[in-house]
Structure 1
Amino acid sequence: MTRILAILTMVVCLAGPANAGLQVSSLFTDHMVLQREMPVPVWGSGNPDATIQVEFADQSKTVQVDPDGKWQVRLDPLAANLEPGEMTISSSANDESIVIGDVLVGEVWICSGQSNMQMGYQNIQGIADLVPQTKNIRTFEVKRSVAFRPQESCEGQWAVSQPSSAVAFAFAHFLQQAAEMPVGIILTCWGSSSIEAWMPRDMTETLPHFRTMMQEFDADTARTSKIQEILDGPRPWSRADDIYLRRQSNILYNAMMHPLAPYACRGLVWYQGERNTQSMAGMLREPWFSRTSGMLMYGEVLQQWIERYRKQWNRDDMHFLVVMLPGYGATLNRDSDRDPNSPTAHSWAWMRESQLMALKLPHTSVANTIDLGHLKKIHPTDKLPVGRRLALLAQRDTLGQSVEAQGPTIKNVQPNGDALIVHFDHADGLKTTDGKSPQGFWIAEESGEWCEADASIEDETVVLRSTQLSKPLYVRYAFSAKPDVNLVNDADLPAYPFRTDDFPPTKPAQH
């Protein structure tokens, strides 16, 4: 027990004691971008009872350091500004002061997730070409680490440059062009990480599977000892040690997300899910890093995770932009249905359905990537359209701009004899990318035996039939591992996958 307590009190990210004099959160450095049009918290530590004064943009706020050595002020909402400003933070104790220069005001987003968010832009077609055009983008990249307890600070600093992430860079570029103001990206991501890796420990109170995971983590002294040995050892870590750390639960949140709150930001872009696709129902025994929510539970988990983060930032309107997992041919059916086009295989289709459950919450968007991806590569290179679609959603949902930001979404299905008529929202100019009939539709009767549908576009609907079915009832669209799809609207944005049945994921497809 003594060993465990010693580990749990270990501080990985640097944080000064309360009596170490005036300090400000690690996110406040030269070249930072502050969020416009909302209160801006500024916080740090200092000598208890000292008076802290924060001055910026003709505002001056004061507060007294509390007995624990912490302080926080809230600047009034700021207007976007391309002219660099200077923030001065001073303490009555010993006349200490900190001056932060080259500060801009604009749109700030956190970009997080696993390897497809981390993936660099240098060799990505179209994105590296954006570098010469890029302006007014700044980045704070959180150094990858873990901690056994939530940290107050992290390693990183603001830089006058684009993010290293392909998706975050493309998103920032198109958003900056549309907003015509500075964009700040806080990049905190790590490959192979599950959503549980980014959870605060108190989510064990509402998620039983996470409670089990953390109970097992606490009881596994060999694991905690190994983590501590890696942290105490030389850097850079070996690849094996790096992978071991990033596949843990909770401790990424402690080191790489907790220190960011409550930095004012518009929202969070979340590109994660691959680690949670290794099972349907979750909590596999082997391999150990597959002990996660699984695909079917992920939707509820994601909603609770979003609500918990909003609580952490004290912002009910904090916007979450979720990147749908793109096409990928792998399935979980080891000895049965391995067809990447099958609508019943245990594929990423079920994860995409779970990701779309985020839309049950207000102030959420999901970027559709069903037409992207690669049959055999889990790290596809078509990241440019991902960033562009994220920016379109942010333009519409957070900037209030009148743009078409999403492809057709199911409105309702109308039975009509031997046919089903699918009605869509966002269907202006409904068409296919190749001029051929719509692909990726499957229909079924009450039996649940699925048949590929003959589809045709009529105005802004799709009519579905099959010679094998006299009275179809249900539809699945793009509900497979790597579907062949071509249905878009006039903005060339792809239709979102959907299913209208409630069959469990067990029945085989009929070919």
Structure 2
Amino acid sequence: MHRNEIHNQGKMMKTSLALGLLIAVLVPSTAIAELQLGSLFTDHMVLQRDAPVPVWGTADPGATVTVKFAGQEKTANVQTDGKWMIQLDPLSASFEPQTMTATSNLNSTIENQQCADVLVGEVWICSGQSNMQFGVDAVPEVKALIPQTKNIRNFTVKRSVALTEQERCEGQWVDRYPDSAVAFGFAHFLQASADTPVGIILSCWGSTSIEAWMPRDMTETVPHFKVMMEEFDANTEAQAEINAILSGPQPWSGKEDIFLRRQSNIIYNAMMHPLAPYACRGLVWYQGERNTQSMHGMVKEPWFSRNSGMRIYGDVLKQWMQRYRQQWNQDDLHFLVVMLPGYGNVLKTSPNVPRDNPAAHSWAWMRESQLKALELPHTSVANTIDLGDIKNVHPKDKLPIGRRLALLAARDTLGQKVEAQGPVFQKVETQDNSLVVHFEHAEGLKTTDGSPPKAFWLADDDQKWVRADAMIQGQSVVLQSAELAKPLYVRYAFVGKPDVNLVNDANLPALPFRTDRFEP
């Protein structure tokens, strides 16, 4: 054969091969893609009761997927991107294990997936940083609950990051309590109160800021987050390091682990985005310590302190909650916020006052921000002002937190008539040289030690705070000080680690508050 003929035949063969490959890409294959359920749909899972339950996954485009569970049968067509979703009608709580079956059918080729030992009850996501991660074995009082535990299941999301939003995460449902003292305590008391199975989805990582758990599109509504992500995108060295860690050996070194978890957005991508829209009652959020490193945020050094800061955190928290509700398509997704407990640290920016003075730049300002969550519906804040450790950012008194969270959930999501919070500031009145503070949730107002109420401070317009003499009068507290002829303002428990004793009949502590609007 002539050299030119051989050359032309070779070109024709290459062209034919390329055309075949192009057709293979453009024309849907008749081969069945593996039917796959979303990451959270595994054996031993708990489904949310009394609410629509989305079930989703992937399969071959054009296939029909049928899901059967608890007498229901729902069908959906697989979209061109291979995704499908059905929605089960609201389910009744059930301790009886059931099986969910998903079937795909394309051109008479059938594939099945099953999830066995499925219960229906209350499902909560528990998220945040190290105090949510804090283990059961480190808290004897919580560990002692294990023999009494029943009907609690857990899905722990493997800690990881991703530069883009992921559809899947690693983890599986297990018939066991979560290894988080707060999450387990909450689940234990909630299960007893609701008398229904409880499922906990644990997705937490120490040292994380709220910005680590924020989707990228929040740059459109949170100005400082926009700056953070612009800086992140410009930092090609950091991105290269992230990719190198993810593709390198595991487990990561401690240095690598810390580097990853102190980034913004990429934890949301890997550890929260894949969870939506799994039906759940709400989200328990124990986070904030990472955002206490400045008052107003976006300090230059160290790099991991470039975040909201304490004064901005409250507004960011509200926007974050609203964005998650959009992600779950659930306007009543309930948020249970754990207030940061007592801790004695103050910032370098603090005025020259003792750290137990309410003018100090302490965690009191973060607690005020966290309480802004209550400005939104379907939110609760667990008061921890009587807990904590003046020197340790990881206190061990986690049992009361779990109990208080369960009380709030029982009242605010289950409709139970229980006292779930301590005295709450209602109003203040001037009475001669005294101020009278009136409280709600103050039935049986008392102190834990029989002494006069502690941790009240007074000031006038000179902003010099002095300790108040306090006396209980019914459901009110009367305050005065020999140092002030005309006190105008009150701050209560407004220091890093307050010494408090004011409670109601349910022995729940009074919420911290201030009546002034002085800016730090």
| TM-score normalised by length of structure 2 | 0.93
**Which of residues 280, 305, 318 is equivalent to 1:290?**
305
**Which of residues 429, 434, 438 is equivalent to 2:444?**
429
Q: Residue type of the partner of 1:75?
A: L
Higher mean displacement: 305-314 or 338-347: 338-347
Distance 1:198 1:283 in 2: 17
Question: CA offset at residue 390 of structure 1?
Answer: 0.2
Q: What is the aligned partner in structure 1 of residue 495 from structure 2?
A: 480
1:445/1:471 contact within 8 Å kept: yes
Question: CA offset at residue 30 of structure 1?
Answer: 0.1
Distance 1:339 1:228 in 2: 46
Q: Residue type of the partner of 1:281?
A: H
1:440/1:478 contact within 8 Å kept: yes
Equivalent residue runs for 1:66-465 within 5 Å: 66-93=79-106, 94-333=109-348, 336-337=351-352, 339-465=354-480
Distance 1:201 1:369 in 2: 31
Partner of 2:239: helix, strand, or coil? helix
State the structure with more CA Rg: 2
Question: 1:146-199 CA distances to partner (integer Å, 9 max, x unpaired)?
Answer: 000000010000000000000000000000000011000000000000000000
Q: Does 1:49 align with 2:62?
A: yes
Distance 1:261 1:123 in 2: 31
Question: 1:428-453 CA distances to partner (integer Å, 9 max, x unpaired)?
Answer: 00000000000000011122211110
Q: Percent identity?
A: 67
Question: CA offset at residue 96 of structure 1?
Answer: 0.2
Question: CA offset at residue 342 of structure 1?
Answer: 1.1
Distance 1:91 1:400 in 2: 40
**Which of residues 31, 34, 41 is equivalent to 2:44?**
31
Question: CA offset at residue 338 of structure 1?
Answer: 6.0
Question: 1:474-502 CA distances to partner (integer Å, 9 max, x unpaired)?
Answer: 10000011111000000000000000001
2:295/2:311 contact within 8 Å kept: yes
Question: CA offset at residue 462 of structure 1?
Answer: 0.2
Output the aligned Cα RMSD: 1.0
Question: CA offset at residue 101 of structure 1?
Answer: 0.2
Q: Residue type of the partner of 1:238?
A: S
Aligned length: 488
Partner of 1:122: helix, strand, or coil? helix
Question: 1:271-312 CA distances to partner (integer Å, 9 max, x unpaired)?
Answer: 000000000010011100000000000000000000000000
Q: Residue type of the partner of 2:126?
A: C
Partner of 1:225: helix, strand, or coil? helix
Q: What is the aligned partner in structure 2 of residue 14 from structure 1?
A: none
Q: Residue type of the partner of 1:211?
A: K
Q: Residue type of the partner of 2:215?
A: P
Q: Residue type of the partner of 2:82?
A: G
Question: CA offset at residue 67 of structure 1?
Answer: 1.0
Question: Any gaps of 5 or more consecutive residues in structure 2?
Answer: 1-30
Q: What is the aligned partner in structure 1 of residue 14 from structure 2?
A: none
1:367/1:389 contact within 8 Å kept: yes
Q: What is the aligned partner in structure 2 of residue 13 from structure 1?
A: none
Partner of 2:199: helix, strand, or coil? strand
Q: Residue type of the partner of 1:37?
A: D
Q: What is the aligned partner in structure 1 of residue 71 from structure 2?
A: 58
Question: CA offset at residue 110 of structure 1?
Answer: 0.1
Partner of 1:429: helix, strand, or coil? coil
1:37/1:79 contact within 8 Å kept: yes
Q: Residue type of the partner of 2:419?
A: E
Question: CA offset at residue 336 of structure 1?
Answer: 4.8
Distance 1:338 1:189 in 2: 36
Q: Residue type of the partner of 1:33?
A: V
Higher mean displacement: 200-209 or 336-345: 336-345
Distance 2:312 2:332 in 1: 24
2:357/2:465 contact within 8 Å kept: no
Distance 1:234 1:309 in 2: 33
Distance 2:348 2:249 in 1: 41
